[in-house]
Amino acid sequence: MARIPDPNYDRDINRLVDAYKRGILAIATELSRLDVSDISRAHAKAALAEIAAILRDINAESAAWVAEYVPKAATDGVARAIVGLGVANTLAEAEKIVKFNRINREMVASAIADTQADLLAVTQNIDRRVRQAVRQATAESFRANMASGINGRRTINADTLAGIRKTLGQATDTGIIDAAGRRWKPEVYVDTVTRTKLNSAHRDATINEAIGRETYYAQISSHGARDACRNWEGRIVKLVPDAPGDYPYVGDLPRREIFHPRCRHVLSPVRSPENIRGGI
Ligand SMILES: [Zn+2]
C-alpha cells in the first residue's frame, strides 16, 4: 500500500486567521481614531458603521473559506480511504474518483454549517463588545466634557482621557469565551475551531467511505505525537460498534486522549485487522 502523507492545512488556516487578525487590527485602528476628548454621537455612529463593514467582510471571507476547505478535507479523507483500500494507487489518482456518498454529503453539509456558525460567533462577539465600548466611551467623554464646563476648566484631565482610550482598546482584545468558560483570543479560537473541524471532517469522511465499501476497521495514523494520543498511534479501531473482534469502537474513544481539539491524527481503513501490527 502506498504511504499516504498526513493532511496539512496549516497554510490555508493561516490565511483565514490572518484575515481575522487584519480585520481586528482595522477595527482597533478605527476605534483609536475617535477623538476621545469629544466623541459625538455622529462620530460614534460613523465609526460603528465602518466597523460593521469590516465585520461583514470577515464573515463573507470566512464563510467562503469554510465552504471551500471543509469539502476539501472531506475529499482528502475519502481519497485516503480509497488509496488505503487499494481502489486507487496514489492520492492524485484517488482525488479524481472521489465522490461523496450520501452520508458524506450530509456530513459535509452539517460540518460546513457548524463551522460557519462557530466562526460567526467570533465576529458577533467582537461586534457586541465594540458597540458596548463605544457606547461607554461616548458617555464617559460626554460626562467629562460636562464636568470640565462646571469646573471652569476647558480640558478633560489626562487620566479620564486615558481611561476612555482604555475602554476602547479593550474592546478588541478581550476575546471569546467558549462553552467550557475558557477565554480565547479571537485568532487563536479561529485557528483551533478550523483545525479541529477540518480534521474531524477528514476522519468522518474516511469512516463513511470505508463503511460504504464494507470495511469496518481502521488504523490510527502515527506522527510521533507527544501528548496522550501517542498511546493510540497505530492502534486498530472498529468503525461500527458491532464489527467482530476485540477492538475499541472509534466513537467510544476517550476524547481527552485522542481526536481532541487540534488533534492531527487521521484514520486509514483496514479490511482485515488481524494482518496489521498494532492491533491489540
Ligand atoms: Zn492526536
State in Å: Cα 59 to ligand 1 middle. Answer: 29
State in Å: Cα 12 to ligand 1 middle. Answer: 20
State in Å: Cα 117 to ligand 1 middle. Answer: 24
Ion ligand 1: residue ranges with CB closer than 5 A:
229, 263, 265
Compare 148 and 160 and report the one with higher pLDDT: 160
State in Å: Cα 211 to ligand 1 middle. Answer: 22
State in Å: Cα 229 to ligand 1 middle. Answer: 5
State in Å: Cα 83 to ligand 1 middle. Answer: 22
State in Å: Cα 187 to ligand 1 middle. Answer: 21
- Residue 24, pLDDT > 80, answer yes
- Residue 1, pLDDT > 70, answer no
- pLDDT band with cut points at 50, 70 and 90 for residue 250: very high
- Residue 280, pLDDT > 70, answer no
Compare 36 and 108 and report the one with higher pLDDT: 108
* Range 138-163 average pLDDT: 83
DSSP string, the chain: -PPPPPP--HHHHHHHHHHHHHHHHHHHHHHHTS-TTS--HHHHHHHHHHHHHHHHHHHHHHHHHHHHHHHHHHHHHHHHHHHHTTSSSSHHHHHHH----HHHHHHHHHHHHHHHHHHHHHHHHHHHHHHHHHHHHHHHHHHHHHHHHHHT-SS--HHHHHHHHHHHHHTTTS-EE-TTS-EE-HHHHHHHHHHHHHHHHHHHHHHHHHHHTT--EEEE--S---SGGGGGTT-EEESSTTSSSS--BGGGS-TTTSS-TT----EEEES-GGGSTT--
pLDDT single digits (tens) 166-183: 999 988 887 777 778 888
Question: Residue 279 has what pLDDT?
Answer: 45
Which has the minimum average pLDDT: 42-46, 112-116, 154-158, 203-207?
154-158
* Range 56-66 average pLDDT: 98
Range from 82-86, 144-148, 272-276 that averages highest in pLDDT: 82-86
State in Å: Cα 203 to ligand 1 middle. Answer: 12
